[in-house]
């Protein structure tokens, strides 16, 4: 089978934990590798929020499901439920949130436990009062790593008419008090709304009574999963990874015959082609009136994945994919500096990886612009970077082609960056210089202008007109060929004259270049 049970404590198995209730007091599950013991060894741990007879965050052995201890909840308060969901960041920091039906009158809160000192009380890291009566905290997500400031907290509105996702990012070791508010282009909202973040900013989204969807970082709807694949009786969602352009995600589904997770494959990223990869076993048949439950994932170094599932009054379990699901990049981002683009990416693990090919698209056609040697096989986090230089103004897309030693490959998701227009006129020194037989000249214009670039010999005689035309504001590169203009060795002067279309003002600049044959 595609998915096999690792351990399960459930109504179906007759071994439901004694601390589980028959109501809906257990709603959130999280998994992570945290530092435990005097040697600070990394150990698998599962966490569950329970409100049965008090307020608890239960910690279980991730490998066996055995109960271990409770986290300290001193000082936790506020909202309809003071704690409702729990998550673990990529570097093992533990977070839990409250649930508020109106964040304008009862703040949405997120607490953090230091994994090095689990007996200590948690610290409040998000205390957010909204400007509108939005319900937050049925589900929340924590992506990436706290200790390097890359962590992000996501919470989706569960209030009809407020189709928004709230995203808190970090600055200097703390979460920003004011979130980025992402308005979903289709206005989607629903019960127990959930976000499955993807590095690069896009995300999956699901909620009770709605269809699973994918959005761009700005909230633009990218696609909807057919209801024949993922029914509307589902909510919690987590992105797993990609292979050869196909994506995988897991979502919790409730109701008769369910109380489990569905793992979905999205061929070539086209949600209309989504198919079921596998199902975990149903946890039980107790009626789940609110459809509450949760799902989490962990991708292993060998490419398989663990799926962690909780059904509010039916139990919890851990399941492993029997076939490889690819390891996901931990981060992939593009930033613009003048007319250069800097790409940075991180891997959590690598297996037999040969290289990363960097591909760029401006018009929809992909081209290889460079490559970076990979680590091969590594279980340690690796960081890579690549600079794409001297680009013209425009919106560029980038992706990584991750090539294995045997020649097989998979693509990353696409990240986008924009090279804006310059703020001033400029003419750069040609490169290379001296040259033979070709060289390049970069220049920039901040407004639409008529541009003329001419070439003179050392005596001041004009030997070539390199360019003469109207151009829009932007960055440009001019190729100069000594063969084309039959140039002899020596020193030349090139001059740029730009006349602004709107004002008629002139910009003039000259520089020298040397041809050595």
Residues 328-366: tens digit of each pLDDT: 578 899 999 989 999 999 988 777 788 899 999 997 789
pLDDT at 279 over 60: yes
Among 153-162, 375-384, 394-403, top mean pLDDT goes to: 153-162
- Scored b (16 or more CB within 10 A) or e, 366-384 reads beebebeebeeeeeebeeb
The verdict on domain 426-515 having CATH code 3.40.50.150 is: no
Once rounded to an integer, what is the mean pLDDT over residues 54-66? 98
Q: How far apart are the first and last CA of the chain?
A: 69
Same fold, 329-419 and 426-515: yes
Is the Cβ–Cβ distance between 386 and 370 less than 8 Å?
yes
Q: What is d(CA 23, CA 288) in angstroms, rounded to the nearest whole number?
A: 8
In 3-state terms, what secondary structure has residue 130? coil
Task: Return the half-sphere exposure (C-beta side, CA atoms, 13 A cut-off) of residue 13.
Answer: 14
Show the tokens assigned to 217.
């970082």
Choose which CATH entry (2.130.10.10, 3.40.1190.20, 2.120.10.30, 3.30.470.10) describes domain 3-321: 2.120.10.30
| φ, ψ for residue 482, nearest 5 deg | -65, -35
State how far the Cα of 31 lies from the Cα of 47, in Å rounded to an integer: 6
Cβ neighbours, 10 Å, residue 273: 15
The domain limits of the chain are 3-321, 329-419, 426-515
Mean pLDDT of 120-145: 98
- Bridge partner residues of 50 (DSSP): 26, 56
Q: Which two tokens stand for residue 35?
A: 């530092």
| Cα–Cα distance measured from residue 192 to residue 205, given in angstroms and rounded to the nearest whole number | 11
Q: Which helix (H) or strand (E) holds 333?
A: strand 329-337
Lowest mean pLDDT among 30-44, 140-154, 460-474, 493-507: 30-44
pLDDT over threshold 80, residue 379: no
Q: Is the pLDDT of residue 293 over 70?
A: yes
Q: SS3 for 115?
A: coil
> In 3D, which of 397, 492, 509 has the Cα closest to residue 451?
509
Nearest partner of 398 among 216, 200, 247, judged by Cα: 200
In whole angstroms, what is the distance from residue 346 CA to residue 331 CA? Answer: 5
What tens digit of pLDDT does each residue of 413-457 get? 889 999 999 999 999 999 999 999 999 999 999 999 999 999 999
Segment 263-278 mean pLDDT: 90
CA–CA gap between residue 149 and residue 344 (Å, rounded): 15
- Rounded Cα distance, 367 and 361, in Å: 7
Q: Could you give the CA distance from residue 125 to residue 120 in angstroms, rounded to a whole number?
A: 15
pLDDT at position 244, please? Answer: 63
Q: 267 phi and psi, to 5 degrees? A: -60, 130
> How confident is the model over 227-256, as pLDDT tens digits?
999 999 999 999 998 866 779 999 999 999
Confidence of residue 409 (pLDDT cuts 50, 70, 90): confident
The confidence score (pLDDT) of residue 324 equals 57
Q: In terms of DSSP bridges, do strands 191-197 and 203-208 run parallel, antiparallel, or are they unpaired?
A: antiparallel
**Fold of the domain spanning 329-419:** Immunoglobulin-like (2.60.40)
Closest Cα to residue 343, out of 248, 413, 440?
A: 413
Record the tokens describing residue 490, joined without a space. Answer: 């020596």
Kindly report the number of other CB atoms within 10 A of residue 248's CB atom: 23
For the segment 392-407, the average pLDDT, to the nearest whole number, is 87
Q: Tell me what percent of the residues of the chain surpass a pLDDT of 90.
A: 82
Tens digits of per-residue pLDDT, 105-132? 999 999 999 887 888 999 999 999 999 9
| pTM (predicted TM-score) | 0.67
Q: What is the DSSP letter of 431?
A: B
Are the beta carbons of 258 and 312 closer than 8 angstroms? no
Query: What pLDDT does 400 receive?
Result: 93
Tell me how far apart the alpha carbons of residues 393 and 370 are, in angstroms, rounded to a whole number: 20
Euclidean distance between CA atoms 168 and 156, whole angstroms:
12
């Amino acid at each position: 089978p595609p998915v096999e049970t690792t351990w399960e404590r459930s109504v179906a198995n007759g071994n439901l934990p004694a601390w589980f209730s028959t109501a809906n007091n257990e709603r959130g599950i999280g998994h992570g590798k945290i530092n435990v013991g005097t040697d600070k060894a990394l150990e698998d741990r599962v966490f569950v929020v329970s409100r049965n007879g008090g307020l608890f965050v239960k910690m279980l052995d991730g490998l066996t499901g055995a109960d271990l201890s409770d986290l300290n909840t001193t000082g936790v308060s506020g909202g309809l439920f003071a704690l409702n969901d729990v998550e673990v960041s990529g570097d093992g920091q533990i977070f839990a949130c409250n649930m508020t039906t109106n964040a304008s009158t009862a703040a949405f809160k997120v607490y953090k436990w230091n994994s090095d000192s689990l007996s200590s009380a948690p610290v409040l890291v998000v205390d957010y009062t909204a400007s509108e009566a939005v319900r937050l905290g049925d589900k929340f997500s924590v992506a990436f790593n706290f200790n390097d400031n890359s962590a992000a907290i996501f919470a989706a509105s569960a209030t009809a008419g407020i189709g928004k996702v709230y995203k808190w990012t970090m600055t200097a070791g703390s979460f920003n008090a004011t979130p980025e508010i992402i308005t979903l282009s289709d206005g989607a909202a629903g019960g127990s709304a959930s976000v499955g973040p993807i590095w690069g900013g896009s995300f999956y989204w699901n909620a009770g009574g709605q269809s699973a969807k994918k959005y761009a970082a700005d909230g633009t709807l990218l696609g909807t999963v057919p209801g024949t694949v993922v029914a509307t009786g589902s909510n919690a969602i987590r992105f797993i990874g990609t292979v050869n352009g196909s994506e995988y995600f897991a979502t919790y589904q409730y109701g008769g015959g369910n109380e489990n997770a569905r793992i979905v494959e999205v061929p070539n990223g086209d949600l209309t082609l989504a198919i079921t990869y596998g199902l975990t076993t149903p946890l039980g048949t107790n009626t789940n009136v609110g459809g509450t439950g949760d799902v989490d994932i962990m991708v292993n170094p060998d490419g398989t994945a663990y799926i962690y599932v909780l059904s509010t009054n039916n139990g919890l379990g851990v399941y492993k994919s029997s076939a490889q699901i690819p390891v996901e990049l931990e981060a992939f981002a593009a930033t613009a500096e003048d007319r250069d683009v800097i790409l940075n990416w991180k891997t959590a693990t690598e297996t037999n990886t040969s290289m990363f090919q960097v591909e760029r698209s401006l018009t929809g056609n992909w081209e290889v612009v460079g490559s970076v040697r990979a680590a091969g096989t590594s279980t340690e986090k690796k960081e890579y970077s690549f600079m794409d230089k001297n680009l013209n103004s425009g919106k560029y897309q980038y992706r990584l082609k991750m090539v294995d030693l045997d020649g097989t490959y998979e693509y990353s998701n696409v990240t986008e960056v924009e090279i804006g227009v310059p703020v001033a006129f400029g003419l750069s020194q040609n490169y290379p210089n001296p040259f033979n037989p070709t060289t390049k000249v970069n220049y920039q214009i901040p407004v639409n202008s008529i541009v003329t670039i001419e070439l003179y010999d050392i005596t001041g005689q004009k030997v070539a007109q390199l360019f003469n035309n109207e151009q829009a504001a932007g960055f440009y590169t001019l190729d100069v060929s000594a063969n084309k203009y039959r140039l002899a060795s020596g020193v030349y002067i090139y001059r740029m004259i730009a006349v602004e279309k709107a004002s008629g003002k002139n910009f003039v600049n000259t520089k020298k270049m040397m041809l050595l044959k």
